[in-house]
Amino acid sequence: MLLNPAIMALVMVSAVICLMLLLASWFAVRVLSHWDINSGSERQLRLERRTYLISTLLVWAFSFQLMSLLLFIYNAESMSGQFVGAMCATGVLNVNAWGWPTLFLKMGVFFTGAVWLVLNYLDNQGHDYPLIRYKYWLILAILPLVAAELILQLLYFTNMDPAVITSCCGALFSSQSEGVAGEISGLPPAQMMPGFVLLGAAVILSGVWVAKRRQGGWLFALLGGAAFIVALMSVVSFISLYIYEHPHHHCPFCILKSGHDYIGYLLYLPLFAATALALSVGVISPWRKITSLTLAVDRIVPRLSWIAVVFFSLFYLVAAWSVWTSHLTMTGVWW
């Protein structure tokens, strides 16, 4: 399986990202040990010059991480015809025990990387680089995640066996199946819909409040994270049912297929972008108290909040449109 071009690309991208993070971590140790903004020594000047190089390196690394996440999902979807029992990405991820952990780690690295990029941009706005130690401590925390992702991805691809009969999405995402997927699939739409709508309204209103008042960033981040989880649960619980127009098809990956007009991308891309921005707003908002960053925070927070609100709104509009235009009718829903 490693000779598959998409798999080779994924492994190479993950290896390059890991190498970039290793180089950045080596530099981070030097910064944490020797950084002194009040010093005019040659070593301090070298650190200041190289921090721009490392920042550029990490911008590319985390950009590649987004590409890696998208390619990983696309590759899993495209390989579904190579395994007996696989109808979509769900079956491919179920080929062995490493598929789902790899996906979740890629998602985790994506969100932490997005937060780091915003934190780094904010730090560069201050003449005294007040957040430089925090952002390089964060790099040291991200490195183990990136290394674990590379290892799990290699285990996943090297242990793929085409002779294995895997489980399809209908078996995993079913109210009769055991595990978390079965529990989420069994959640009644009549209970999920009100929470989905109310939390969506809350996160959008919170984002607007932060954008206008420049307060409550932590609440926006908290609601954004909660909205992300509930949104994914809602896709499995009821949104997918309306897209498929089938009361028992809960798969969150089949909506990425051409037969459903790739509507899954219109749901997931705005949702992931909005969540990353909301988390970033929550991380950078408290730094407004630092004098050299006050103006930058007041400028960046509203901008990110508005963009996040637009992306959240797009996700909820696409979800509402999918439900409204569906020919499926389910009795007992809340409206």
Q: Mean pLDDT lowest for which of 62-71, 145-154, 301-310?
A: 62-71
**Mean pLDDT score, 179-208:** 87
Whether residue 285 is predicted with pLDDT greater than 60 in this model: the reply is yes
Predicted confidence band of residue 140 (pLDDT cuts 50, 70, 90): very high
Whether residue 139 is predicted with pLDDT greater than 60 in this model: the reply is yes
Tell me the torsion sign for CA atoms 211, 213, 215, 216. negative
Q: Which residue has the higher pLDDT, 88 or 16?
A: 16
Q: Which residue has the higher pLDDT, 307 or 83?
A: 307
Task: List CB contacts of 169: < 8 A, sequence separation 6 or more.
Answer: 87, 88, 90, 91, 249, 250, 251, 253, 254
User: Which amino acid would we find at residue 288?
Assistant: R
Alpha-carbon distances, residue 100 vs 156, 160, 243 (angstroms): 9, 13, 24
User: Which amino acid would we find at residue 275?
Assistant: T
Alpha-carbon distances, residue 323 vs 46, 89, 241 (angstroms): 57, 23, 9
Predicted confidence band of residue 177 (pLDDT cuts 50, 70, 90): low
Maximum average pLDDT range among 73-77, 126-130, 233-237, 247-251: 233-237
Q: What percent of the chain has pLDDT above 90?
A: 54
**CB-CB neighbours of 225 under 10 Å:** 16
Whether residue 173 is predicted with pLDDT greater than 60 in this model: the reply is yes
Task: Dump pLDDT digits (tens) for 146-172.
Answer: 999 999 999 999 988 877 777 777 667
pLDDT of residue 335: 47
pLDDT of residue 334: 47
**Mean pLDDT score, 73-97:** 82
53-90: b or e for each residue (b if 16 or more CB lie within 10 Å)?
Answer: ebbebbeebbebbbebbbbbbebbbebbeebeebbbbb
Where exactly are the structural domains of the chain? 1-167, 168-335
pTM summary value: 0.92
Q: What is the DSSP letter of 81?
A: G
Predicted confidence band of residue 178 (pLDDT cuts 50, 70, 90): low
Task: Dump pLDDT digits (tens) for 209-244.
Answer: 999 998 999 999 999 999 999 999 999 989 999 999
Whether residue 332 is predicted with pLDDT greater than 70 in this model: the reply is no
Cα within 13 Å of Cα(80), Cβ side = 19
pLDDT of residue 91: 83
- Mean pLDDT score of the chain: 88
Cα within 13 Å of Cα(78), Cβ side = 10
Which two tokens mark 175? 């109210």
